[in-house]
């Protein structure tokens, strides 16, 4: 079985024929289509349901799901557990009353799988029972009871699987392996993989989309012990781990065309240092890379943590897998990430354990509530600073213009922070003068986030150790390029006044094609290693980061800065006016920290240099750089060495997060015409991967344009 790759490379075969057949079925939509057969569990038979409290409704929904969700045993599977309710794919708890969903669900978090592996769910229950006794008779009793109720539901679901497996001799190994975990600590590699999968599967069965986190950190020691004791071979471990990835494709169904069908935030991290500063890279690291290389599964976007001391063997292996394309692999520079977390106030041991939120934004796994709020910095410049191109707009010099934009940026972030502070209740008895407001229940994920049980507060109500609401600046390159074009045209070259330029922009460059071409082609914009424009980008990012953290302490959230678009340049484009850097109104422009399409003329190395001139360690939740590479540029040994050099340069220069994608735009256009022939063709979109054929026309065109200009 071969899978399409953007560069047409032949993938190696290491896995057994039965495992590859299982992958074929899963990627071929067999289980995803089966999931759609049962959309949700109805709650209409519950007497007086509408009169119950929100927490009571939630607990009953989770229990009913555990009791009634279809049990799925896939032929030949090595791991058990499946998320078999279609509504969960839509980010909703799959339970309905009067035909409508009852609650939405939770994503953008990585739960505490380490706690599950090392201590088992029974230890979590003991903590929950202690908390219930502590909070009995208080306003926190309902949440504490809900924790116990959700743990009961988890045991019910576990029991149903054991009962189903026990009856079928061909699943004897599955049954024996599932008997202890996840309720007792895992003792073997096989148990550990099953423990993570089963916990993950129940969370997503109930509609939640958690990330996996540091798979080699979680599983490495189990495999080392088993290998040493002769309990398992590397080939056997690869087979078991492959089934984890294959089962993670159980929601592929081809029915949801839009921004891609693989956006379930089940991201994975590999390599890097542990809390003691020791390198994590182990046998599991390389097994994961083997599996991604062979099967081309794009549903687990995987990021490798690199640093200045990363072993050459790992750099080479990452490059070998990455050049198959599909955007499956990305890289962090953990030196910068850890530095950013330290600046943001984290303890160093804690910072070293960072993972992501399910996309690429940084958080401490199992301890963090996280949400980000992106905004279009280009619209802010056009609509606020330049007043929508209406009326008289003048500034004595460029510094005056920049100062006004910075003030407008401050006002925007202040309004954002004040809006979040209004979500808290006044509490005169508190030292802060506020307390967390009540939110919709989310007990199931709260159980697996450190702090929630002990505080008697849910994931959404201040329970986790860290509570982050991160403003993310979007349209960065477009804003920088617009400011730079104004600086050059109006203030340096004095070709026209600002009022005259604004009048031209108001007319969408109509009748000014000569000037527009001059602006497009005369200036060197962000992404080409030009110190002048790159310094402006670095200045803007630094000022933005300082503004964001200045609002820490206003409420229960911290406000670290980040940079992202996540494809929102599509939804922003109709509201954008003509831009000073020569772009017409409504154009789809830059993604994340990447250059404006068509302006990056000096290649990937120059792009990285521009990006790294900013102090990215001031952006504690992240700043993503998208790099598009032609297959020919990474072909052969020279191409492999070039890609490794790109990694080294990214780390040495102080990059944060880079998501390269090796793709041929010609192949993508062919897939548009014949989608039936390219069902597994994957591309990196923004923070996730998508099978290209599940993107709608608008998204496909954007991806193609980005690759044609890359």
Kindly tell me the burial class for residue 676, based on how many C-beta atoms sit within 10 Å of its own C-beta (0-12, 13-18, 19 or more): exposed
State the angle between helix axes of 189-205 and 215-228 in degrees (0 to 180), rounded to the nearest 10: 150
Q: How much is the average pLDDT of 275-279?
A: 97
- Confidence at 429, pLDDT banded by 50, 70, 90: confident
For the cut 50, the answer to whether the pLDDT of residue 488 exceeds it is yes
Segment holding 179, helix H or strand E: none
Query: What is the per-residue pLDDT across 588-598, written as a single tens digit (0 to 9) for each?
Result: 888 899 999 99
Q: Tens of pLDDT along 235-258?
A: 999 999 999 999 999 998 887 666
Does the pLDDT at position 566 exceed 90?
A: no
Domain boundaries 17-360, CATH class: alpha beta
State the pLDDT at residue 260. Answer: 63
Is the pLDDT at 416 greater than 50? The verdict is: yes
Residue with tokens 């916990």: 199
Strand, helix or coil for residue 24: helix
If we measure between CA atoms, which residue out of 122, 104, 112 comes closest to residue 466?
Answer: 112
| Angle, CA 455 vertex, CA 452 and CA 460 arms, to 5° | 45
Cα 637 from Cα 179, distance rounded (Å) = 48
Distance CA 457, CA 463 (A): 4
For residue 1, is pLDDT > 60?
A: no
Every domain of the chain with CATH number 3.20.70.20 lies at 17-360
Query: Which residue do the tokens 């047409």 mark?
Result: 8
Tokens 């949700």 belong to residue: 40
Q: What is the pLDDT of residue 709?
A: 47
459-487 pLDDT, tens per residue? 999 999 999 999 999 999 999 999 999 99
Using an 8 Å Cβ cutoff, are 296 and 3 in contact?
yes
Angle between helices 531-549 and 476-486 (to 10 degrees): 120
Task: Please report the pLDDT score of residue 435 as a whole number.
Answer: 87
Q: Where are the beta strands (DSSP E) in 187-227?
A: 209-211, 213-214
Contact 241, 287 (CB under 8 A): yes
By the 8 A CB rule, do 660 and 322 touch?
yes
Of 3 and 699, the structure prediction assigns the larger pLDDT to 699
What distance in Å separates the CA atoms of residue 560 and residue 142, rounded to the nearest whole number?
Answer: 32
* Gap between the Cα atoms of 625 and 595, Å rounded: 9
pLDDT tens per residue across span 197-221: 999 999 999 999 999 999 999 999 9
Strand partners, 42: 96
Q: What distance in Å separates the CA atoms of residue 403 and residue 399, rounded to the nearest whole number?
A: 6
If one counts every other C-beta atom within 10 angstroms of the C-beta of residue 221, the result is 16
Percent of the chain with pLDDT over 70: 95
What pLDDT score does 372 carry?
94
Nearest to 111 by CA among 219, 203, 222, 191: 203
- The whole-number average pLDDT for the span 378-385 is 98
Residues 83-100 have pLDDT tens digits of: 999 999 999 999 999 999
Per-residue pLDDT band for 662 (boundaries 50, 70, 90) equals confident
Could you report the per-residue pLDDT of 316-348, keeping only the tens digit for each?
A: 999 999 998 877 899 999 999 999 999 999 999
Residue 639 has, within 13 A of its CA and on its CB side, a CA count of: 15
First-to-last alpha carbon distance for the chain, in angstroms, is: 31
Q: Does residue 8 have a cis bond before it (omega within 30 degrees)?
A: no
């Amino acid at each position: 079985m071969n899978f399409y790759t953007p560069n047409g490379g032949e993938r190696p075969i290491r896995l057994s024929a039965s495992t590859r057949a299982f992958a074929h079925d899963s990627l071929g939509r067999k289980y995803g289509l089966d999931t759609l057969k049962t959309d949700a569990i109805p709650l209409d038979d519950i007497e007086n349901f509408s009169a119950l409290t929100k927490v009571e409704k939630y607990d009953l929904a989770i229990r009913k799901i555990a009791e009634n969700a279809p049990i799925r045993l896939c032929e030949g599977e090595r791991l058990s557990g499946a998320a078999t309710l279609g509504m969960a794919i839509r980010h909703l708890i799959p339970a309905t009353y009067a035909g409508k969903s009852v609650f939405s669900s939770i994503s953008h978090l990585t739960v505490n799988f380490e706690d599950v592996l090392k201590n088992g769910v029974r230890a979590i229950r003991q903590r929950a029972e202690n908390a219930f006794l502590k909070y009995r008779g208080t306003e926190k009793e309902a949440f504490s009871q809900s924790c116990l109720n959700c743990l009961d539901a988890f045991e019910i679901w576990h029991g149903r699987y054991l009962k189903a497996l026990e009856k079928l001799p061909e699943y004897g190994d599955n049954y024996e392996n599932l008997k202890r975990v996840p309720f007792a600590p895992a003792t073997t590699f096989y148990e550990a993989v099953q423990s993570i999968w089963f916990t993950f599967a129940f969370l997503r069965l109930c509609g939640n989309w958690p990330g996996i986190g540091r798979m080699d950190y979680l599983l490495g020691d189990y495999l080392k012990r088993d290998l040493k004791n002769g309990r398992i071979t590397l080939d056997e471990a690869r087979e078991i781990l492959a089934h984890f990835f294959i089962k993670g494709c159980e929601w592929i169904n081809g029915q949801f065309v839009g921004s891609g069908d693989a956006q379930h935030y089940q991201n994975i991290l590999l390599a890097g240092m542990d809390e003691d500063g020791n390198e994590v890279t182990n046998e599991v690291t390389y097994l994961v890379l083997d599996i991604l290389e062979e099967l081309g599964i794009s549903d687990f976007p995987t990021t490798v943590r690199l640093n200045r001391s990363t072993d050459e063997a790992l750099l080479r292996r990452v490059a070998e897998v990455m050049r198959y394309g599909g955007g499956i692999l990305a890289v962090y520079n953990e030196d910068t990430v850890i530095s950013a977390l330290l600046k943001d106030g984290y303890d160093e041991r804690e910072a070293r354990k960072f993972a992501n939120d399910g996309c690429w934004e940084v958080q401490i796994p199992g301890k963090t509530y996280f949400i980000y709020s992106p905004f279009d910095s280009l619209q802010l410049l056009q609509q606020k600073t330049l007043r929508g191109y209406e009326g008289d707009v003048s500034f004595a010099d460029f510094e005056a213009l920049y100062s006004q934009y910075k003030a407008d940026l401050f006002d925007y972030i202040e309004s954002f922070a004040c809006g979040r502070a209004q979500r808290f209740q006044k509490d005169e008895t508190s030292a802060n003068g506020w307390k967390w407001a009540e939110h919709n229940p989310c007990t199931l994920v709260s159980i697996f986030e450190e702090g929630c049980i002990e505080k008697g507060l849910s994931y959404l109500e201040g329970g986790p150790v860290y509570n982050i609401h991160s403003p993310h600046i979007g349209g960065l390159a477009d804003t920088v390029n617009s400011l730079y074009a104004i600086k050059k045209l109006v203030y340096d070259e004095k070709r026209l006044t600002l009022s005259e330029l604004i009048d031209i922009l108001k007319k969408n460059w109509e009748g000014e094609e000569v000037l527009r071409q001059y602006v497009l082609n005369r200036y060197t914009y962000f992404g080409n290693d030009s110190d002048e424009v790159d310094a402006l980008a670095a200045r803007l990012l630094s000022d933005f980061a300082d503004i964001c953290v200045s609002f820490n302490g206003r409420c229960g959230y911290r406000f670290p800065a980040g940079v992202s678009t996540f494809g929102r340049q599509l939804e922003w484009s109709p509201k954008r006016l003509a831009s000073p850097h020569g772009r017409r109104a409504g154009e789809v422009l830059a993604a994340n920290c990447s250059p404006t399409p068509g302006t990056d003329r000096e290649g990937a190395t120059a792009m990285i240099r521009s990006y790294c001139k900013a102090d990215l360690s001031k952006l504690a939740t992240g700043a993503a750089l998208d790099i598009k590479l032609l297959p020919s540029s990474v072909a052969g040994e020279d191409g492999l060495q070039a890609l490794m050099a790109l990694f080294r340069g990214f780390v040495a220069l102080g990059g944060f997060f880079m998501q390269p994608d090796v793709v041929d735009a010609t192949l993508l256009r062919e897939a548009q015409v014949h989608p039936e022939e390219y069902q597994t063709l994957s591309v990196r979109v923004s923070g996730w991967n998508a099978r290209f054929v599940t993107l709608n026309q608008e998204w496909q065109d954007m991806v193609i344009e980005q690759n044609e200009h890359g």
